[in-house]
Structure 1
Amino acid sequence: MASGIPIEVSGLTKRFGQVTAVDDLSFRVEPGRVTGFLGPNGAGKTTTLRVLLGLERASAGTATFGGTPYTRLEKPVATVGAALDASFHPGRTARNHLAVYATATGIPKQRVGEVLDIVGLADYADRRAGGYSLGMRQRLALAYTLLGDPGVLVLDEPINGLDPEGIKWIRVFLQSLAKEGRTVLVSSHLLSEVQQSVDDVVIISRGKLVKSGPLSSLEIEASPSTVVDSPDRDRLRAALDQAGLAYSEGRNGFIVDEPDPGRVGHAAFTGGVELNSLHRLKSGLEESFLTLVGDIGPDGPDGHPVYPTGEEA
């Protein structure tokens, strides 16, 4: 197994014509941990991953593996395993599908059987992939990423559409990869899908970073907070600062580290700030996540597609 190395994204910007899909994005993914790369459809997740894997060229900034771009890695297959657009010929067996890639990349064919066993497909290796369930296809995609025994795994929506049994399996599997010292980055548009799997989160909205850190930093039930918003956010920010209230800013307002909305409202009143939202935040991780990212539809910001083709970014 290649040793895990950090994923480093610094000042990354990607534009498609007049549309900015990723905007000055910076974050770091550490080895030995599962990091959730989160945001609604159209937030810029897939674009970021495509730049990271050398499939798109950045307009500005960098996205590297331990400081080295994917295209300059000495042994890319043995360093990074990625599954973005997993597709299989329905007439091929899983064994044959993986053998083609193993031959193309110089990986010993015995590795095919090993990875099929690792993901629990050994008994179905000679069945045609066209007859696989969604969960089995997800496992086959994971087997493909493990062919080179890489130290870094980049997975795009690996839990999407799985049944409860499949979700439980993949959660345990991802954690086992991290415990081996690998760097694991998993994208999802729903926090609820991955919150039991990840150690850290990187949350983006409209191509910008809105939160990065341990999953525990999103925990709010033990320390309830208040959500407040105003048409004049600059004045509200100043009022919160004047009152000595700690807060973070999301698309739907400020999340204030104060369980009493009355105290937050008084701070706004003292500062002469008009409010259009004031309520206690107490519903847990998912509400915190939604407050941070706001509501973006599948066509991206303001109803416009992030890709000119309408493809998710």
Structure 2
Amino acid sequence: MAGGIPIMIEGLTKQFGPVTAVDDLSFTVEPGRVTGFLGPNGAGKTTTLRVLLGLVRATAGTATFGGTPYHDLPRPLETVGTALEATFHPGRTARHHLKVYATAAGLPAARVQQVLEMVGIAEFADRRVGGYSLGMRQRLSLAYTLIGDPGVFVLDEPINGLDPEGIKWIRGFLQALAREGRTVLVSSHLLSEVQQSVDDVVIISKGRLIKSGTLSSLELEAAPRTIVDSPDREKLSEALDEAGLAYTEGRGGFIVDEHDPGVVGRAAFLGGVELSALHRLKSGLEESFLTLVGGGEE
């Protein structure tokens, strides 16, 4: 296994004509950690990764592996495992695909079977990829990233298309890589997909850095709120107004800007309101993320 080295993005800018896809972006991904690269669709994540992997030339700034650009790495497959898209020739088998890459990189043929077993598709290795589900193609992409036993992994939306069992598997897979001292960067447009896997987050929107730090630091910013509902919502609304509590209405009731359900319950009691629901909102972390990025695609 190659040792983990940091991914370093420094002052990165990429323009496509009049459009600025990435705007003076800087962050570092450390070895031994799983870092979630997050933002809505169109935020600039894939462009950043494509510059990092030498597929697109930066307008300004740098994107390197410990100071070395991808195209200057002496043995790239043994340094960086990459999966940007789960696309393979449909007429070829998974085993054949991986053999081609292993041969081109001067790797032992036995490595192909090893990585097929590691991602759980060895029994399907001699089937044509055209018959694979999206989840199986995702696993084949991961097998490709492992072929050179690299110390760095760059994965774009790896959970897309996986069933619940596959999602649980990949979460353990990513954490296992980090425990071995490898550097793991995982992009996603949904925090909920990766929050059980990542240690750190880098959040961007409109090509700019919004936040970077540990997942726990983002959790601290997630202001908890309370859900409350009643068969008589009009009367409940009046009670909340009387108590001076701010709220918005959703399908499951009123979302109140108050972390203590007891405060909300007392307001309803004083207003003589019968309640059908009263509990703390559990999705504060995702709500905080959506607030940071503006809540939608760009």
TM over 0.5: yes
Determine if the alignment matches structure 1 residue 44 to structure 2 residue 44.
yes
Identity of aligned residues (%): 80
Moved over 2 A (4+): 220-225
User: What is the match of residue 4 of structure 1?
Assistant: 4
In 2: Cα distance, 1:126 partner to 1:16 partner = 41
* Structure 1 segment 104-119 matched on structure 2, within 5 A: 104-119=104-119
Per-residue CA deviation, residues 236-265 of structure 1 (Å, 9 max, x unaligned), is xxxxxxxxxxxxxxxxxxxxxx979xxxxx
Amino acid at match of 2:156: D
Shift, 1:220, TM fit: 3.8
Mapped contact 2:221–2:288 kept (Cα < 8 A): no
Matched to 1:285, the amino acid is L
Contact 2:222 2:288 in 1 (8 A): no
Q: Is the 8 A contact 2:198 2:215 kept in 1?
A: yes
1:26–1:209 Cα contact (<8 Å) kept: yes
* Aligned twin of 1:151: 151
Letter in 1 for 2:44: G
What amino acid is the match of 1:18? P
Matched with 2:210 is 210
Summarize the alignment of residues 71-150 of structure 1 with structure 2, pairs less than 5 Å apart.
71-150=71-150
Amino acid at match of 1:131: G
Could you report, residue by residue, the CA deviation over 1:258-289 in whole angstroms, capped at 9, with x for unpaired residues? 979xxxxxxxxxxxxxxxxxxxx984110000
Q: Kindly state the Cα deviation for residue 134 of structure 1 after the two structures are TM-superposed.
A: 1.7
Q: Distance in 2 between matches of 1:29 and 1:68?
A: 14
Q: State the match for 2:255 in structure 1.
A: none
Alignment-mate amino acid for residue 161 of structure 2: G
Q: Which amino acid aligns with 2:193?
A: E
One-letter code aligned to 2:189: H
User: SS of the counterpart of 1:212?
Assistant: strand
CA distance in 2, matches of 1:7, 1:175: 17
- Whole-angstrom distance in 1 between the partners of 2:290 and 2:44: 16
Which stretch of the first structure deviates more once superposed, 120-129 or 2-11? 120-129
Residue pair 1:32, 1:178 contacting (<8 A) in 2 also: yes
- Residue 161 of structure 1 is matched in structure 2 by 161
Q: Which residue of 2 aligns with 1:25?
A: 25
Match of 1:53 in 2: 53
For 1:85 and 1:158, how far apart are their aligned partners in 2? 9
CA distance in 1, matches of 2:156, 2:113: 24
1:86 CA displacement: 2.5
The one-letter amino acid paired with 1:41 is N
2:13 alignment partner, SS class: strand
| TM-score normalised by structure 1 residue count | 0.75
Runs of 5+ consecutive residues of structure 1 not aligned to the other structure: 226-257, 261-280, 301-313
> Could you say what secondary structure the match of 1:91 adopts?
coil
> Higher mean Cα deviation, 133-142 or 14-23?
133-142
Equivalent residue for 1:278?
Answer: none
Q: Which letter does structure 1 place at the counterpart of 2:68? A: T
Task: State the alpha-carbon separation in 1 of the partners of residues 17 and 72 from structure 2.
Answer: 27
Contact 1:40 1:296 in 2 (8 A): yes
- Give the Cα–Cα distance (whole angstroms) in 1 for the partners of residues 16 and 33 of structure 2: 32
Counterpart amino acid of residue 34 in structure 1: V
Contact 2:37/2:203, CA 8 A, preserved across alignment: yes
Contact 2:138 2:161 in 1 (8 A): no
SS in 1 for 2:140: helix
Structure 2 unaligned segments of length 5 or more: list them: 226-257, 261-280
Match of 2:193 in 1: 193
CA contact (8 A) 1:82 1:155 kept: yes
Deviation for aligned residue 1:223: 6.1
Deviation at 1:295, TM superposition (A): 3.4
Query: For the Cα contact (< 8 Å) 2:203–2:211, is it kept in 1?
Result: yes
> 2-side partners of 1:197 and 1:137: how far apart?
21
Determine the structure 2 residue equivalent to 1:276: none
Give the distance between the partners of 1:58 and 1:221, measured in 2 at CA. Answer: 33
**Distance in 1 between the 2:222 and 2:72 partners?**
46
Change (3 A) 1:90 1:218: same
Note if contact 1:200-1:214 (Cα within 8 Å) is conserved in structure 2. Answer: yes
- Aligned letter for 2:86? A
Q: What is the distance in 2 between the residues matched to 1:8 and 1:43?
A: 19
Aligned-partner residue type, residue 73 of structure 1: L
Find the counterpart in structure 1 of residue 249 from structure 2.
none
